[in-house]
């Protein structure tokens, strides 16, 4: 139940990646083995373009969304950048330039009024807002953001991190009108260590790796053909299964309803916003997410703490803090993120384990 960390691979993807790995060929070689590798690369590029409503020429493969995000942010290292306050660390920490933070409301949605003010006062060169937040699943109004940017700062560029959106909600790059979009293969059933940057034709060049002329000189280095092929197949399957993904909301909603009935103090962050179907951010004020996480792990259930964990030290979530959560809530949250392989039985097992944990903690507090 931790799909937002990484999604399991479909058997068909594992088989395909394995088969492609048995082939030998560098996509830059002119012989038939090289051409066979190139064919895998271009087929995958087409599937990514189809998933995101764009042209394959705009797709550059990377080692993941981290690299894609870093690539865009690096292209604006000497400019003014404005990002939402709930971005993934691969955006947040890649900002070396002057950085403006767009606040979010209590539901975790970017405040359009605040963005309007920032655009007028600071005239940023790049605006970066994620399409779906990884902790809450809240969908950001990226299309409206682009509209506002084009009206107030037509020379500025817009980037959207779509790592948690691809394969979960329909994405139409042409309709969104962003200049850059980043994807991660392993969030929608492809292998880890592969991603893509989609760049509109008029966007500023964004290059992080220099060397060979691969990826139309946009990203040097021999391509990870098997990984990319797997990402391509996963994209094809995800595009066919968007309805299946949307149906996961039934299980997610059951978990939320039962838990809210059990624990009146439960806070579900982002519940009133437009969310992807699979994610819920469950807060038990004052009960550390690490304690909750370990109780779930002991019951054999893989979920995530809503808070960032670095060097073994749990920190409060910057996302929940930005939403106005006090510290004893921003460090007391579990993120459950489901996927097509989860069943109603999984939800029941989670509800059972969570309820037992809740009772244990309650009893302990009562006895103290």
What residue ranges bind ligand PMP (CB under 6 A)? 64-66, 69, 88, 90, 130, 134, 161, 163-164, 184, 195
Q: Identify which of residues 93 and 262 has a Cβ nearer to ligand PMP in the complex.
A: 93
**Shortest distance, CB of residue 182 to ligand PMP, whole angstroms?**
7
- Is the distance from CB of 179 to CB of 199 less than 8 angstroms? yes
CB of 68 vs ligand PMP, minimal distance in Å = 8
The backbone torsions φ and ψ at residue 320, rounded to the nearest 5 degrees and listed phi first, read -70, -35
Name the token pair of 261: 């009935």
d(C-alpha 247, C-alpha 228), whole Å = 28
Catalytic residue among 52, 82, 111, 309: 309
Residue number with CB closer to ligand PMP (128 or 214): 128
State the DSSP code for 138: B
Active site residue 329: no
Instruction: Name which of 6 and 26 has its Cβ closer to ligand PMP.
Output: 6
Token pair of 348 as six digits:
């029941």
The owner of tokens 């900002």 is 95
Q: Can you tell me the distance from the alpha carbon of 263 to that of 111, in angstroms, rounded to the nearest whole number?
A: 30
Q: Which is nearer to ligand PMP, 166 or 239 (CB)?
A: 166
- Sign of the C-alpha dihedral, residues 35, 39, 40, 41? positive
> At its nearest, how many Å lie between ligand PMP and the CB of residue 97?
19
Q: Mapping DSSP to helix (H, G, I), strand (E, B) and coil, where does residue 73 land?
A: helix
Q: How far is the CB of 10 from ligand PMP (least distance, A)?
A: 18
Q: From the CB of residue 313, how many other CB atoms can be counted at a distance below 10 Å?
A: 8
Give the residue numbers annotated as catalytic, written as ranges: 309
């Amino acid at each position: 139940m931790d799909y937002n960390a990484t999604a399991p691979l479909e058997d068909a993807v594992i088989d395909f990646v394995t088969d492609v790995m048995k082939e030998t060929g560098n996509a830059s070689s002119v012989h038939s083995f090289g051409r066979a590798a190139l064919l895998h690369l271009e087929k995958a590029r087409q599937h990514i373009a189809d998933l995101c409503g764009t042209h394959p020429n705009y797709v550059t493969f990377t080692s993941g969304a981290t690299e894609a995000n870093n690539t865009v942010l690096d292209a604006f290292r000497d400019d003014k950048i404005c990002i939402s306050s709930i971005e993934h660390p691969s955006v947040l920490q890649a900002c070396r330039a002057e950085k403006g933070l767009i606040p979010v409301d209590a539901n975790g949605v970017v405040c359009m009024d605040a963005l309007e003010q920032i655009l007028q006062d600071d005239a940023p060169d790049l605006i970066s807002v994620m399409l779906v937040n990884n902790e809450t699943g809240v969908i950001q109004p990226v299309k409206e953001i682009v509209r506002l940017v084009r009206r107030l700062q037509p020379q500025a560029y817009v980037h959207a991190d779509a790592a948690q959106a691809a394969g979960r909600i329909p994405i139409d790059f042409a309709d969104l009108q962003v200049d850059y979009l980043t994807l991660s293969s392993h969030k929608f059933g492809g292998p880890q260590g592969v991603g893509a940057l989609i760049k509109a034709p008029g966007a500023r060049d964004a290059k992080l790796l220099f060397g060979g002329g691969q990826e139309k000189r946009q990203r040097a280095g021999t391509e990870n053909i098997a990984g990319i092929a797997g990402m391509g197949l996963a994209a094809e399957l995800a595009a066919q299964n968007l309805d299946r993904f949307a149906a996961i909301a039934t299980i997610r909603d059951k978990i939320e309803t039962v838990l809210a009935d059990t624990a009146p103090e439960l806070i579900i962050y982002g519940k009133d916003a437009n969310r992807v179907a699979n994610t819920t951010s469950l807060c038990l004020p004052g009960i550390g997410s690490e304690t909750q996480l370990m109780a779930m792990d002991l019951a054999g259930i893989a979920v995530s703490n809503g808070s960032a964990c670095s060097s073994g030290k749990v920190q409060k979530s910057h996302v929940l803090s930005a939403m106005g959560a006090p510290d004893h809530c921003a460090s007391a949250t579990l993120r459950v993120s489901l996927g097509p392989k989860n069943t109603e039985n999984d939800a029941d097992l989670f509800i059972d384990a969570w309820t037992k944990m809740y009772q244990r903690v309650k009893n302990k507090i009562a006895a103290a």
